[in-house]
Structures are given as structure tokens and as C-alpha cells.
Amino acid sequence: MSDRNRTQATERPEPARRRRGKELIAAIHQAALEETAEQGLGRIGMEGIARRAGTAKTSLYRRWSSPEEIVLDALYHVLPVEEPSPMADDLRGDLIAALTLMRDKFMQPFYGAVVTAILAEAQRNPELRERLYGEVFEPRGGRFTRTVLYHYAERGKVDPARLTPVVLDIGEALMIKYGVDEAKLPDDAYIAAIVDQAILPALGHDAGCDTGGRGRPAG
Amino acid sequence: MSDRNRTQATERPEPARRRRGKELIAAIHQAALEETAEQGLGRIGMEGIARRAGTAKTSLYRRWSSPEEIVLDALYHVLPVEEPSPMADDLRGDLIAALTLMRDKFMQPFYGAVVTAILAEAQRNPELRERLYGEVFEPRGGRFTRTVLYHYAERGKVDPARLTPVVLDIGEALMIKYGVDEAKLPDDAYIAAIVDQAILPALGHDAGCDTGGRGRPAG
DNA sequence: CGAGATAGATACGCTGACGTATCTAATAAG
DNA sequence: CTTATTAGATACGTCAGCGTATCTATCTCG
């Protein structure tokens, strides 16, 4: 066979196939997130992303002007849009479902590492911060127990006066702290404990003082 | 006067004073933390730290072998060792005091940025993680509401069965989440809200179901 | 099939950090 | 004052990423 390679015959067969458009972009997004997860936002670069994506720097600069742009774009396209939705008449079950969704969709090791890296950067970079919350988190939801709590409040199952900013954050706050401290994901039992020991008591639904059927506005 | 500068006469007067030992080390620590706060752990380097500390790279390599070493060392020496101690017979007041201490000593913009940067790095670097928790956080305390809660549990003012890992983390978790989300420090009112709306209810001391003088094991 | 668009390979000069070596100058200890 | 330490300045050679330019190969669309 004739040697059609410009470099060396001993490399990979070089399928000579050429990705473009969405396919190429998706590969670049993926590469950018992987690099960020492995190295942190501070250490990534165009060169590294291009290498990992198996493309040329030229192709990156054609669309983005910095690694951060790529990562932000990637995160937006890759983050799931799900919200807790089922909502039977089961507050506890739905709270657990919401936090489980958070864990399984937003805290998997891969996203987790990326999000942590970006949040750290955003802490020092107000512009990145704006874009992160404005362009990525807000449109992508990221409201878990909140959605559930408002739902039950509307139906009179939860006292709306209890739904302060603090209370709305309890579940997510504990999930995040666990992830940071333990460097692993909370298991089902821990999630249940968050709901039973922190969220429900804060709503006044405390097993210990039993507000089982009174003290709430009529539905 | 005679020109005794080796470089240029237009530089700073060059006091020709030379720091050594602790004084020098402290300056380097400070510089390392500042660099980290500004650039993030991923972007700091020996060169930058030396420049900011106004010393020579040589002096850094004499004691440390990487920027990370310096930062970890710096954090250890710089983090305050305080613990919430006063402890009147005022659970609510002491919880508030503990979280206020956390805010004022550990979350000031400067430390906050450094700690966030390092935590992000530790998320991907198990070895750094070990050292961070083992060499810095543990020996430096970092237990705020925990100390208070155990204290009151020992005196029978709080049901020990309530002091689960989840409950012990509520206050700190909410403080952290606030800091990350808002990029600013919680004010006194927010801290009070954390205590009143999240921690006390989780202890069974809920204003809403009023355990004011009963339901606790006798002291 | 042919034209226009888009990817890919490569080379370039530039800059900045790396880690080391070397030498001089300030300081502390005796 | 003398001597042993320890800082500071500087100069390497090396390496890797930067952002751009150029040219070719592949793909899409009409």
C-alpha cells in the first residue's frame, strides 16, 4: 500500500474521517470538561483541550477565544435540565426523590469535579460568576427541594411561613457539605437522614414533637 | 550620595535590610496565600510567590519544593485556632456565637478564597485532601456548632440522640452554601435565622411546636 | 460533479515558568 | 572582630503553551 501519511506510518490508522458541526463541538465540549475535571480550571488550556479532543487548535479558536468559554459552553450543553416532578401526596418521599435526583444528575464524580472547579474560580472572578449563574445554573434549574416545598405549600401541606431562604437551602446545603467533606456521594440513608432530621423538623413536621395533623393552615 | 545599587538607581531605595528566619517565612506564607486567593491554586508558581514576597526563588526552594507545600504550610500557620468557648446557659446564643466565630475567623474574603481554591483542588487530588484535613483542618479545630452542641448535650439540655452527623453539620453547611451562592458573608440576621429556623428545630427546640420547658431529659 | 465551507496539520516567534548553579552581601553567633 | 549561616541577585538552558498564519484535505450542498 502506498504511504499516504504525512507524518509516520506507525501511527493510528488515521481514519481520515473528519468530524464537523455538532459532532465536533460535542467532542470538544467533552474534552474541555474532562480536562477541567482532571486538572482544574486553572490549569487547562487550548492546547490540552485540542489534544484530548483529537482536533487542532485552529478548530478551537475558530469558535471560542479561551478555555473558559469552552467549559462554560460545555457545561450549559451538558447539564441535565431535569426537575423533581412526580409529586404524589408524599412530602417526605418527594423530598428524598429531589435530593436523590440532585445526587444522581448533578453530583456524579465527573460533573461534581467540574462544578467544584468552576465554583472555586467563580469565587474570585465576578464575571465568570455572573455567567455561571446567569447562563448555566438558572436556565438549568438546579432547584431541587425548593420545587417540592413550594408545591406542598401551595396545597396547604406545608406552612408557607416556614419556607424561608434558610429552610429552602437546608437539603442542598447538607448535600454539598457532605460531598466536599467526604469526597464521595451521600447514600440513600444519608439523604433520608437529611430529610428526617433536618428538613422536616424545620418545616415543623418533627417526629419528636409531632405536628402530625395540626398547626397548619387548612388546605 | 554614591550609587551603591547594583541594578538601577531609579528603583525603590532598597533598604538593604535582609529578613531571615520566621520573619522571612511569614512574608512568604502571606505571599503564597495572596497569590492563591487571587489566582487559584492551579495558577500559582514559585516565581510568582517569590516576586510577591520580594525574595528570590532560591530562598523558596531552600525550604519547600512546590507552591502547594508553601500554601499548605502557610494555611496551617495562619489559620486561627479558636473554638467557641464562652458557654453561658444559652444554647441559642452560643450557637449564634459559634457561627459568628466561623464567619469572622474562617470566612473572611481572604481565607475564604484560599480555602475554596484548595478545597476545589483537594476534590481531585486525594493526597492533598488527606494533608489538608489531616494537617490543617483537624488540628485547627474547625468544629463550631459541634462544640456547642456536645457541651449542651453533656449537660442534658439537648437530647444526645438528636446529635447525628446530619444535625451536627446543619449550621456549617448553610454557612458554606450561603458563601458560595452569594459570594459574600452571611450577616447577623442570617446567622440567627440559621439557628432559629434550622438548627433549633432539628434539636426539637422548635418555636413552632414549642418545647420550651418540657420534652427534654432532665438536666 | 464542482464550488464553497469547514477541519486538520504544521510551523512560527514569543513569552514565562521551571529548577539549578553560582556568587555576593547581610546577619547572627562566638 | 571573625566566622558560619542564610538571603538575595542573577544567569542559564529547557520546555510548554500562547495565538496566528498558511496550506491541504475533507465534507456539504446545490
Q: Which domain holds residue A55?
A: 21-76
The tens digit of pLDDT for each residue in A150-208 reads 999 999 999 999 999 999 999 999 999 999 888 889 999 999 999 999 999 999 987 54
A 9-68: CB under 8 A from B: 37-43
The overall average pLDDT reported for chain B is: 85
Whether residue B93 sits in one domain with residue B71: no
User: CATH number of the domain that B59 lies in?
Assistant: 1.10.10.60
Using the predicted structure, report yes or no on whether residue A143 has a pLDDT greater than 50: yes
CA atoms within 13 A on the CB side of B183: 14
The answer to which of A190-194, B6-10, B64-68, B206-210 has the lowest mean pLDDT is B6-10
User: In chain C, which nucleotides are within 7 Å of a protein Cβ?
Assistant: 6-11, 16-22, 25-28
Which residue bears the cell 531609579? B10
CATH number for A184: 1.10.357.10
Query: To the nearest whole number, what is the mean pLDDT of chain A?
Result: 85
Task: Tell whether B91 and B39 lie within a shared domain.
Answer: no
Q: Which of A200, A117, A105 is nearest to A144 (CA)?
A: A105
Report, as an integer, the average pLDDT of B100-112: 88
CA distance A32 to A23: 14
Residues of B in contact with A120 (CB under 8 A): 40, 116-117, 119-121
Least-confidence region, from A96-105, A131-140, B168-177: A131-140
Is residue A14, in this structure, part of any structural domain at all?
no
Of the three residues A43, A61, A76, the one that is the final residue of a domain is A76
Say whether pLDDT at B111 is over 50.
yes
Q: Is A159 inside a domain boundary?
A: yes
Q: Are A72 and A87 contained in the same domain?
A: no
Q: Please report which confidence band the pLDDT of residue A9 belongs to, taking 50, 70 and 90 as the band edges.
A: very low
> Are B89 and B30 found together in one domain?
no
- Are A133 and A50 members of one domain? no
Do A194 and A102 have their domain in common?
A: yes
Residue A84 lies in a domain: yes
- Whether residue B14 is predicted with pLDDT greater than 60 in this model: the reply is no
Question: Same domain, yes or no, for B61 and B156?
Answer: no
* pLDDT-based confidence at residue A86 (cuts at 50, 70, 90): low
Encode burial over A202-218: b for 16+ CB neighbours within 10 A, e otherwise.
Answer: bbbbbebbebeeeebee
Residue B161 sits at the chain A interface (C-beta within 8 Å): no
Instruction: List the A10 CA – C2 C1' distance (angstroms).
Output: 35
Q: CA A18 – C1' C13 distance (Å)?
A: 30
- Give the alpha-carbon dihedral of B127, B129, B135, B141, to 10 degrees: -170
Task: Please report whether residue B186 resides in a domain.
Answer: yes
Residue B208 is assigned to a structural domain of this protein: no
Is there a single domain that holds both residue A111 and residue A148?
yes
Q: Is residue A8 part of a domain?
A: no
- Shared domain check, B83 and B71: no
pLDDT tier at B6 (50, 70, 90 boundaries)? Answer: very low
List all nucleotides in chain D with at least one atom under 7 A from a protein Cβ.
6-11, 16-22, 25-28
Q: Is the pLDDT of residue B212 over 50?
A: no
Answer yes or no: is pLDDT of B3 > 80: no
Distance A52 CA to D18 C1' (A): 17
Q: How many domains does chain A have?
A: 2
Average pLDDT over residues A136-151: 84
pLDDT band at residue A15 using 50, 70 and 90 as cut-offs: low
Q: Are residues A30 and A132 in the same domain?
A: no
Cβ within 8 Å, pair B208-A208: no
Inside any domain, residue A212 = no
A22-31, A104-113, B123-132 — most confident range: A22-31
The CB density around residue A8, as the number of other CB atoms within 10 Å, is 7
User: Touching check for A215 and chain B: CB below 8 Å?
Assistant: yes
**Which nucleotide lies nearest residue A14, CA to C1'?**
C8
- Residue B215 forms part of a structural domain: no
Least confident of A174-183, A202-211, B113-122, B160-169: A202-211
Would you give the DSSP letter of residue A41? G
- In this prediction, residue A214 has a pLDDT band, given cuts at 50, 70 and 90, of very low
Residue B1 has pLDDT above 60, yes or no: no
CB of A27 lies under 7 Å from some atom of strand C:
no
> Which residue in this structure is represented by grid cell 423530598?
A95
Identify whether residues A110 and A198 lie together within a single domain.
Answer: yes
pLDDT digits (tens, 9 = 90+) for A92-128: 999 999 999 999 988 888 888 898 899 889 988 888 9
Per-residue exposure over B178-211, b if at least 16 CB sit within 10 Å of its own CB, e if not: bbbbebebbeeebbbbbbbbbbbbbbbbbebbeb
Same domain for A93 and A183, yes or no, is yes
